[in-house]
Amino acid sequence: MNGQQGKTAIVTGGARGIGRAIAMALARHGFSVAVVDLLREQLAATAGELRALGIEVLPIVADTADYQAARGHVAAIMERWRRIDVLVNNAAVLQPKRILEITEAEWDLGVAVNLKGYFNWCQAVAPHMLAAGAGRIINMSSVSAHTGPSAHAASRFAYSATKAGVLGLTRGLARELAPQVCVNAICPGPILTERTAESFATHLDRLPQIIPLGRVGTPEDIAVVAAFLATAEPMFMTGEVIDVDGGANIN
């Protein structure tokens, strides 16, 4: 690996879970990595692990739903590193409530983080990628964008709605930002992380039986695909949606 020295990546929601695994994978490829998250302590711990891999790290405590903050942090990253090669939009919140229980505020928070947050960071990085003539944006969606929430899922319809929105954002931006910037989405299936451990707990015996590859996914299963989208050369994919679910939703 290590072929990407001198390049830089931003990973939102990178303090833990899938985002952390992606940041680690990009670091092993040689990227300098800016990690954005609300969780100050976990972010510091992850930044330490990333530095131990010998790369430059910028831990950024920020809310991705904050439009002005995204612009300010991207400006600061540009000032420091002079380039942004990869953006991974990954920060998202659960939406566990059903239609009869969810409040307006809860709906609005889901849209603000899971959809507008992705827009905020895409719009902030796009001018720099276009000016450089190259860039990769990777948006984390979910298989629940296609299927609606399955029984074992931690989130319900409102989450599926935002994740389907991410696919529209991805396809639209893939056209708008071509040919300089490639924009693709990953749809994870069931991946065991801090946030899904509880909801999967009662289904852990059954889940492998409905997944052709016979196991629940790990953050690293998603990270290898993100690293591929960030590093593959030549690159002839944009606006693509890649399901990484062990075959659970083959169609």
Give me the active site residues, please: 159
Closest approach of Cβ 222 to ligand NAD, in Å?
A: 7
Contact in structure between 188 and 222 (CB atoms under 8 Å): yes
Contact string 190-229 vs ligand NAD (x = CB under 6 A): xx-xxxx---------------------------------
Closest approach of Cβ 147 to ligand NAD, in Å?
A: 11
C-alpha span between 159 and 110 (Å, rounded): 7
Amino acid of residue 184:
N
Q: Which is nearer to ligand NAD, 67 or 132 (CB)?
A: 67
242 near ligand NAD, rule: CB under 6 A: no
Residue of 242, 218, 95, 240 lying closest to 173 (CA atoms): 240
106 near ligand NAD, rule: CB under 6 A: no
Q: Using the rule CB under 6 A, give the single segment among 1-9, 16-24, 174-182, 232-240 that binds ligand NAD.
A: 16-24
181 near ligand NAD, rule: CB under 6 A: no
Q: Which is nearer to ligand NAD, 54 or 74 (CB)?
A: 74
∠ Cα 49 115 46 (to 5°): 5
Contact string 47-66 vs ligand NAD (x = CB under 6 A): ----------------xxx-
Q: Over the chain, what HEC string results?
A: CCCCCCCEEEEECCCCHHHHHHHHHHHHCCCEEEEEECCHHHHHHHHHHHHCCCCCEEEEECCCCCHHHHHHHHHHHHHHHCCCCEEEECCCCCCCCCCCCCCHHHHHHHHHHHHHHHHHHHHHHHHHHHHHCCEEEEEECCCHHHHCCCCCCCCCHHHHHHHHHHHHHHHHHHHHCCCCEEEEEEEECCECCCCCHHHHHCCCCCHHHHCCCCCCECHHHHHHHHHHHHHCCCCCCCCCEEEECCCCCCC
Closest approach of Cβ 154 to ligand NAD, in Å?
A: 7
Q: Using the rule CB under 6 A, give the single segment among 73-81, 122-130, 174-182, 183-191 that binds ligand NAD.
A: 183-191
Q: Which is nearer to ligand NAD, 75 or 178 (CB)?
A: 75
* Residue from the set 4, 8, 32, 90 that interacts with ligand NAD by CB under 6 A: 90
Closest approach of Cβ 199 to ligand NAD, in Å?
A: 9
Closest approach of Cβ 85 to ligand NAD, in Å?
A: 21
What residues line the site for ligand NAD (CB under 6 A)? 12-13, 15-19, 36-39, 63-65, 90-93, 113, 117, 140, 142, 188, 190-191, 193-196
